[in-house]
Structure 1
Amino acid sequence: MRFAHGTGFWVIAAAFLITMAFSTVPTPLYALYQRRDGFPTFLITVIFAAYAVGVMASLYLAGHVSDWLGRRRVALLAVLAEVLAAVIFLLWSAVPGLLLARFICGVGVGVLTATATAHLSELRQIARPEEDGSRSALISSMVNLGGLAFGPLIGGLLAEYGTRPLERPYEVFLVLLLLSAVGIALVPETVERWETRPAYRPQRVALPADAKPLFFASAIGAFAAFAIFGLFTSLAPTFLAGVLHHSSRLLAGVVTFAVFVAGALSQAVFVRLTRRHQLRIGLAAMSLGLAGIAVGGLIPSLPLFVAGGVVAGAGVGLVFRAAVATAAQLADPGSRGEVLAALFLIAYAGLVIPVLLIGLGIALLPAEVALLIFSALILVLVNVAGVRMVRANTAG
């Protein structure tokens, strides 16, 4: 038994959403782990970094293998890695277990991100050959960001109102991930497995030389964009509790949810605009939002901090979608998974490097000052990358 390609598209989309939600469900729980074990704030960034390192390692080593092993098989293995991570969260919640679970979670997410994005594009193309390919890119990007949004919200709700707040979220997602694995096993394959397996090599950017400047311009923008998401999936609850004096676990989840939802909704609202105009709006929103985040932390002001995060998140959504659509458009079908893996590898470097630096900054400086420096640096990077991206998309 196999699903039709149209049904398979939505099964992969659901599995993608669930996996991305699982990757952010610990966000409002970090403060609980910290209170229970008494570790410093910097260790939260290390635990988060273990996830991002796992993503980057898998993107570099395995993000492209679905091009010759097949999308379904690789997607299934990625979701099963998430199942293993959920089990570790439940059975070993000490810091070493958290580090291991987050790393394995990152490995699965890295493999699935490139694989599912390519698989969705191909399933949609077969099911609806007359449809513009940008529609699939939009749905894929919204699923990605929407999943990242729902994870903290679900984690915050279960932690605030449920029993066993450090176990229940993982139990819920363990069931959802197992159901996702069953669904993926029934989805049609869109890539013919190579009879002669090529010699293994790590990730590279398989593009013509004249296409690489456009690819790297988009990747730099994605790096800066993901730095903002990294802040809200790792340290936002710490800032809310420490700097802004709001310790509610539900609030921590809601704030992160709002930032990611803004990223998903902005893509739908501005979908009819050219890519160049979307980039301009996105870069302006990211710049304005970063200013709001920094000032909200300095005053301090919860409404300004949250509003800044939401506006920045809306900008991130537009820039991220443009980057994914550009990379997918540059690649030929035989290397699409590889090119997308390269894009996400650079983006996830933005998720880990700035967050580690701000975590180190909090250990040495007042949190408000560290947040200000972070916002200023990302603001500069966003605008430097933005000029290159807009110029590269003059035909958008």
Structure 2
Amino acid sequence: MIVRHDAGRRPGYPAAAAVFAVGMAGTTLPTPLYGLYRQELGFSELMVTVVFAVYAVGVIAVLLLAGNYSDRVGRRPVLFAALAFSALSAVCFLSEGGLPLLFAGRLLSGFSAGLFSGAATAAVLELAPEEKKSRAGFAAAAANMGGLGCGPLLAGILAQYAPWPLSLPFLAHLALLVVACVLVALLPETVDHPERWPRLTPQGVVVPSEARSVFGPSAFAAFAGFSLLGLSTAVTPAFVSGPLGVTNLAVTGAVVFSVFLGSTAGQSLTEKLGARRALPYGCFVLVAGLAMVAGSLVAELLPLLVAGALCGGLGQGLAFRAALTSVAAAAPAEHRGGTISTFFVVAYTGISLPVVGVGALTVALGLRGAGLTFTACVAVLASCTGVHLLRKPLPEQHGG
């Protein structure tokens, strides 16, 4: 049973959304700094993508092992645990102990994101009054994608214009985490009679038969969209400083921020369009964005890359929120949590495996060739998914 305790006298859903945003910002904070790590430690672009992919491994592991844990122990304990993992991740980066600690930092960051994905989203929704549920749903989506976008923007500005480029971004984030801990301590608990640290019960991969016809195309759309997010956060800094010749880290952070800005805007439009239309339209907008990204690599134009990032992010946001809405509506109530966790597992696989492929392709094709191959493959996947959804639209009751 979910209730709200003392909601009128304690911080509400905007405070929970702020905590969510701070936590997610930490997961993308290293994005504009990978070039500096490469100079300092001397590893390849392939290793950059592997370091990034470790993050997705952490997220997927938590989703499978503890995706519904906050339903049992309460939202606040899980939020505190997520903030602790985020702080430990920052400490790993601050220690500058070489590649092993970079891997450890990214893995801990993945644990943090996996815990935040369920607990923070639920807390934001549950703390909102009934008349503000829709606004709270967008607040959760905006906190998620907005936080992911603000991480590289903050790190890029601090690394470019302030001292200690490999330290100050993480010190700043630790300060924000302290504020977030205070907010969590003040938040009311929304789970009635929480258990006291019960044993973990891994839920595995769950897709009930009633949801499979909706889950398939929705998962493909999420995979394609998250592939673009993975490219943006793991490889875009190398694209910007390599083929485009821009070495300003603040610009790099702003380019990555534009993808998540577009995603937030796309998610805000999904409800107006309805999931049934937003899902195929989002796929086609994503394809247009990927075409612009590819064009920017050929023409070496930074404005075209930014336009592609915004457009691709818009399509990703449209398709992602529509896909999530559709999957949640299609799944029976007793399997809804597990089905949504499985959906996120597919999405985070999309953020990791294709990006590692790009890193491997750079060895044979160079950065530009790898980027063009990647955009072509993801565009084909998104196009096929969009065409399929136009020919066989989702059932009206699942599409909103």
Q: Is 1:58 the counterpart of 2:62 in the alignment?
A: yes
Q: Which of 54, 73, 79 is 1:75 aligned to?
A: 79
Contact 1:137 1:321 in 2 (8 A): no
Q: CA deviation at 1:207?
A: 6.0
Gaps of 5+ in 1: none
> Aligned partner of 1:372: which letter?
L
Give the SS at the match of 1:272.
Answer: helix
User: How do 1:122-271 and structure 2 match up within 5 A?
Assistant: 122-124=126-128, 128-131=129-132, 133-193=133-193, 200-204=200-204, 208-269=208-269, 271=271
> Aligned partner of 1:54: which letter?
G
Give the SS at the match of 2:43.
Answer: coil
Aligned partners of 2:92 and 2:197: how far apart in 1?
33
Aligned partners of 1:360 and 1:347: how far apart in 2?
21
Contact 2:211 2:327 in 1 (8 A): no
Return 69-78 or 264-273, whichever deviates more.
264-273
Deviations, residues 24-61 of structure 1 (Å, cap 9, x unaligned): 11111111111122221111111111111111111111
Deviations, residues 85-131 of structure 1 (Å, cap 9, x unaligned): 1112112342111110111011110111122222222222xxx2245
Residues 245, 155 of structure 1: alpha-carbon distance in 2 compared, 3 angstrom cutoff: same
Residues 388, 210 of structure 1: alpha-carbon distance in 2 compared, 3 angstrom cutoff: farther
Residues 231, 110 of structure 1: alpha-carbon distance in 2 compared, 3 angstrom cutoff: same
Residues 209, 365 of structure 1: alpha-carbon distance in 2 compared, 3 angstrom cutoff: same
Aligned partners of 1:81 and 1:334: how far apart in 2?
30
Deviations, residues 332-391 of structure 1 (Å, cap 9, x unaligned): 677654443222211111000000000000112122211111011111111233345554
User: How do 1:225-374 and structure 2 match up within 5 A?
Assistant: 225-269=225-269, 271-330=271-330, 337-374=337-374
Aligned partners of 2:215 and 2:21: how far apart in 1?
25
Residues 243, 264 of structure 1: alpha-carbon distance in 2 compared, 3 angstrom cutoff: same
Contact 1:118 1:336 in 2 (8 A): no
Return 247-256 or 305-314, whichever deviates more.
305-314
Q: Is 1:115 the counterpart of 2:119 in the alignment?
A: yes
Q: CA deviation at 1:241?
A: 1.0
Aligned partners of 1:200 and 1:36: how far apart in 2?
40
Contact 2:206 2:342 in 1 (8 A): no
Give me the CA root mean square deviation.
2.4
Contact 1:67 1:337 in 2 (8 A): no
Identity %: 38
Gaps of 5+ in 2: none
In the superposition, the TM-score normalised over structure 2's length comes to 0.90
> Aligned partner of 1:39: which letter?
F
Q: Is 1:4 the counterpart of 2:7 in the alignment?
A: yes
Tell me the matched-pair count.
Answer: 392
The aligned residue for residue 43 of structure 1 is 47
